[in-house]
Amino acid sequence: MLSRRWIPVWLCILASICSTVAAASSGQENIKSGNLSPDNIRLASLSAAVIDLETAKPLLQKHSDIVVPIASITKIMSAMVLLDGKQDLDEKLTISREGFSSSKNAYSRLRPGSKLARGEMLQISLMSSENLATFVLAANYPGGVNAFIKAMNDKAKQLGMTNSTFTDPTGLSTGNQSTAMDLVRMARAAMKYALIQEYSTTDKRTVTFSHPRYHLNYRNTNPLVRKGEWDIALSKTGYLSEAGRCLIMLTEISGRRVAMVLLDSYGKRTPVGDAGRIKRWLTTGEGGRVSKVALRYERQKLQTYNIDLASAQNI
């Protein structure tokens, strides 16, 4: 039998458990009922789509059909094309910069002439957005980079991504363009690849190269993966000055699997902030606040895409 002095402690613990269970139940009901109001959430990302993966029904959309540059979100498509090719993932590939982009975003720590297994290149491409590794994978595809890009566009058509175009395997080209809804289709296809799920959600990894032998440490570009507070099944970030900050995730919220696509956000943490606002909205029905700087950036970008500010969605 508990002594009197312990009763208040246990009552607090019980109350906390009940509160947690109630919040989870409330979150599940919010999602299942379909009564979530988009008027209660404002996102900083220019374009967004949140989809229930079980029903394929949109939970939230914002300018989800605008065609925009997608930066390194591209690498999800590249990974699918590579794995569809069924090349030996243990084969060592020689790193070369021949034909590789010289843009400011193309920096790489990989040493030309060194070697790394195809599978490990795929992993650092997905988890750490290694551009040169992604390019080397495409260059060693049957038919080379051009054949790889053709396979990317063929795959997009196969998936019904009618508003998507790929011009390079890395995302360094602004010619890689898509919509939030098309990228949901891509994400749903990618979740069928166990290696894409595993590699894109790896927290950190030390990779050993050969000829010459050296080690490089890599970490996931998505801070939500690194924190470990989210249940994330697939993840990819992206950035170009023309594309803004981008994020795609498959995650579970209140027992329901959802896809999130967030495109063209201002500030390094803005997509993460939007993800948090979406999670809060799905569990409580309420979103959070967006900074004035992010809203100003959004207005400028809407004008770039000739979208009337007065008719723009207010989320």
Which residues carry out catalysis? 72, 75, 129
Secondary structure tally for the chain: helices H, strands E: 10, 11
**Interatomic CA distance for residues 187 and 160, integer angstroms:** 12
Q: Give the residue carrying structure tokens 């509160």.
A: 19
Q: Collapsing DSSP states into helix, strand and coil, what is residue 204?
A: strand
Q: Which residues pair with 22 in a beta bridge?
A: none
Burial 197-217 (b: 16+ CB within 10 A, else e): bebbbbeebebebeeeeeebe
CB 196 within 8 A of CB 76: yes
Q: In this structure, is the dihedral angle defined by the CA atoms of residues 200, 226, 121 and 244, taken in order, positive or negative?
A: positive
Q: Which helix (H) or strand (E) holds 265?
A: strand 256-265
Q: Collapsing DSSP states into helix, strand and coil, what is residue 256?
A: strand
Secondary structure in 3-state letters for 172-191: CCCCCEECHHHHHHHHHHHC
**Interatomic CA distance for residues 29 and 50, integer angstroms:** 17
Burial 149-174 (b: 16+ CB within 10 A, else e): bebbbebbeebebebbebebbbbbbb
Q: Find the DSSP H helices in 110-159.
A: 118-128, 131-139, 144-158
Q: Give the residue carrying structure tokens 């970030």.
A: 237
